[in-house]
Amino acid sequence: MEFREDLEKIADRVDYILLVTHVVALPELTAPKPHRVFDFLNAYIATSEMADLFDNFLISYAFMGHVHHRLSVS
């Protein structure tokens, strides 16, 4: 993933990282289940490929699109 390579290049030179994505990058932020519409759509509006970025990089803030629910994860 090119994005991961970019983060590796800058990780030791920044104080924080602001992550902005069009898709949901954390499974915890997908629409709650069961939901008659989003049960099917969660597969298309989220990705788990980026979830480990939060464990491996100092991502202080993240803004993600696609889900019309406002949630916070600490």
Nearby residues of 69 by Cβ (< 8 Å), 6 or more positions away: 29, 31, 32
pLDDT at 21: 86
Domain ranges of the chain: 2-64
Which pair of tokens denotes residue 10? 């800058």
More confident residue, 72 or 47: 47
Please write the tens of the pLDDT for every residue from 13-62.
Answer: 999 999 898 888 887 777 677 777 767 766 666 677 788 888 899 899 98
Q: How far apart are CA 18 and CA 53, in angstroms?
A: 12
pLDDT at 29: 75
Which pair of tokens denotes residue 14? 């920044």
Q: How far apart are CA 22 and CA 50, in angstroms?
A: 12
- Alpha helices (H) along 1-74: 2-10, 38-45, 53-56
pTM tops 0.75, yes or no: no
More confident residue, 38 or 5: 5
